[in-house]
Homo-oligomer: A and B are copies of this chain.
């Protein structure tokens, strides 16, 4: 910056002003500085700037997996909410592990984000403490935690799964199974399973038939293998709810391969309304979650909270409950 200043015949302070908008500077001087910047190929050093201004200009978001278009949509929603602000989103991938999440929280906090969005309401105790003590706005998403850290934008995965059970019940299915991963690492997956079990019990169509298979997130392939196991273990089964559309798709395709008609031999439902669910033949009944919306609302909430922190008025803790609905298609 000193080089640029020398070339333009001004002080570094003036260069600094020329490079940010909203500062008072003569148009002529600014042009001269911009010219010098371009001639020298100078790029602002933001880490130095942040140190001084105490604004790093980014927000951290932790999502389970890069490979899941639901979370990708949420990330897009957050990004879009920041469009006008110059705030950047820094993504981290927890791979559905709270330990990895804890580690990422710390890594992120070291870079001093202005806010943080996490997926889910369960964390390691140290992870939670880090979030609480960070002194920045925190939003938990995709879940309704019992005792939130601060703000929440989400829905009850258990209730959503239960509503799918009730939908199937309404369609006349009684022997309803659940296909999910083999550990409770994926806490939202575990919640969906719990919701399934509660609904089955409530409707008096128990006991539950649960196939636990593969490490979350379970793949299409694993969904296919799981449905085969399911039918081997409980041949009387009439319908299956899969923990996500990806496994549901794998299951539907495997049934097709084996000439098990869907939904006649077995009805299959998914979760998340991925694109594959609407495209595939037969199309897949699922729960539509407003992924983008979750992100967008979380982003806006964070913006208000950050703005509040800056101006001294702390925003009251908010919980925003988002919508979901059963999307009825051919597979169930």
Report A's interface with B, CB cutoff 8 A.
Answer: 41, 43-48, 50-51, 56, 66-67, 69, 72, 75-76, 88, 90-91, 106-107, 109-112, 129-130, 133-134, 219-221, 224, 249-250, 253, 256-257, 275-276, 278-281
Contacts and interface: CB of A to CB of B under 8 A. Distances in A.
Nearest to A278: B221
A47 B56 contact: yes
A75 B65 CA distance: 12
A110 B46 contact: yes
A106 B278 CA distance: 38
B219 A44 contact: no
A134 B51 CA distance: 22
Given A66-B66, A75-B66, A276-B276, A112 B281 contact: no
A106 B133 CA distance: 32
Contact of A133 (B41, B44, B47, B90): B41
Contact of A43 (B44, B51, B56, B130): B130
A90 B89 CA distance: 10
Given A66-B76, A67-B72, A72-B67, A110 B221 contact: no
Nearest to A221: B279
Which of A249, A256, A281 has the most chain B CB atoms closer than 10 A to its own CB? A281
Given A66-B75, A133-B41, A257-B281, A275 B51 contact: no
A276 B249 contact: yes
Contacts of A224: 279
Nearest to A246: B275
B220 A110 contact: no
Contact of A47 (B50, B75, B130, B281): B50
A72 B51 CA distance: 32
A276 B51 contact: no
